[in-house]
Chain A
Amino acid sequence: MSCQTIKGQFDERLDGRLSDPQQAAFDEHVATCADCRREWEAYAGAWEVMERHTGIEPSFGFVERTLRRLDEPPTAVRTRFWQPAFRWAALATAVIALAVGAWIGRERVLEQRRVEIYASVRQAEYLEDFDVIANLDQLKEGNKL
């Protein structure tokens, strides 16, 4: 088993999450590899030291004092005076921004269509002119002009 694998198993080993065969392989490697053993002993040692923080005992009467508070009203969540207004303002701004964006988008689409229609009309007029020019000689022959 490689040193990298062993070092990647430090947490599982510490928390008892390795299977028996894995733990045996881990312990065997650490026993024979000085570098991994040094790393492991530091890693586990610091964690072990943490256990020496004993904590505190609840003071006398804690339970009774807690039970006496059952009739207290729940602590109101303090909100700043501007918070509801800020939320409404942000919501209104978002709605207005969406409406303006939608209107601008619609205007652009309509403008594009107007340009396309205009181009089509102009093209038709050009074609009509070409038809007249193309048929001009025939029209002259027929004394239509």
Chain B
Amino acid sequence: MTSSESDVALMARVRDGDTDAFRELIERHQRAVINTIQRAIGDAWEAEDLAQRVFLQVYRSAKRYQPTAKFTTWLFTITRNTILNEHRRRARHAAVSLDALQSPREAADGSGWQAPDTTTPNPAQEVAERELQEKIMETVQQLPEAQRTAVILCRYEGLSYEEIAQVLGCSVSATKSLLHRARLTLKEKLRGYY
């Protein structure tokens, strides 16, 4: 196995049950999937569990995978469906995860709430940066689902309008409209931070 193999080539091997190829795919895309989920649901702990489900779905669906589109487009489609299922589950149970109240950095550390580090040269700057991170997350969370997904895939994963349209199941012009409306909201909500 070489790390220069394309995703499509790796998926062809996964289709034959090659777990080494599957490991390579996970290593390549784990950060993107985990962060897409974490930005969409605002919960770092749950994000990893859901990301595992995404990759398991990829493995189980390998025989149905057709390389007519980019692998990442297919991967993010599965990711989005997993996120939607999670939203429905939360709506049914209407429970608030305590972990969702933690900041992303705290949750990823696996530790509880951490006091600001007063030993760093500029603790005020660190506090300000943390506040910005939380403000960005809060703003993204408040967007309607389709706009939120479009923003996350465009801003953080670099997908094109065409790829985002495939993930969302809509037209390119509809995707552009979603992004435009989301950006207008971001402009208002993040005023003072730019």
Q: Chain A: residues with CB nearer than 8 A to chain B?
A: 10-11, 14-15, 17, 42-43, 45-59, 62-63, 65-67, 69-70, 72, 74-75
Interface bits B21-62 vs A (CB < 8 Å: 1, else 0): 011001100110011001100001001100111011001100
B-side interface mostly? helix
Is B183's beta carbon under 8 Å from chain A? yes
Q: Which of B30, B105, B186, B193 contacts A63 (CB 8 A)?
A: B30
Is B93's beta carbon under 8 Å from chain A? no
Complex Cα–Cα for A37 and B55 (A)? 44
Q: 8 Å CB contacts to A: which residues of B124-147?
A: 129, 132-133, 136-137, 140
Given contacts A58-B34, A67-B22, contact A50 B52 (CB under 8 A): no
Is B176's beta carbon under 8 Å from chain A? yes
Complex Cα–Cα for A35 and B38 (A)? 37
Tell me the minimal C-beta distance from A139 to chain B in angstroms: 85
Chain A residues contacting B151 (CB-CB under 8 Å) are 50
CB distance A57 to B155 under 8 Å?
no
CB distance B39 to A53 under 8 Å?
yes
CB distance B110 to A53 under 8 Å?
no
Is B8's beta carbon under 8 Å from chain A? no
CB distance A15 to B187 under 8 Å?
no
CB distance B52 to A66 under 8 Å?
yes
Given contacts A15-B161, A42-B187, A67-B22, contact A51 B56 (CB under 8 A): no
Tell me the minimal C-beta distance from B141 to chain A in angstroms: 12
Chain A residues contacting B47 (CB-CB under 8 Å) are 56
| A-B pairs with beta carbons under 8 Å apart, 27 shown | A10-B183, A11-B176, A43-B187, A46-B189, A47-B155, A49-B132, A49-B190, A50-B136, A53-B39, A53-B136, A54-B133, A55-B35, A55-B156, A56-B35, A56-B104, A57-B31, A58-B30, A58-B34, A59-B48, A59-B108, A62-B26, A62-B52, A66-B26, A67-B19, A67-B23, A70-B59, A74-B60
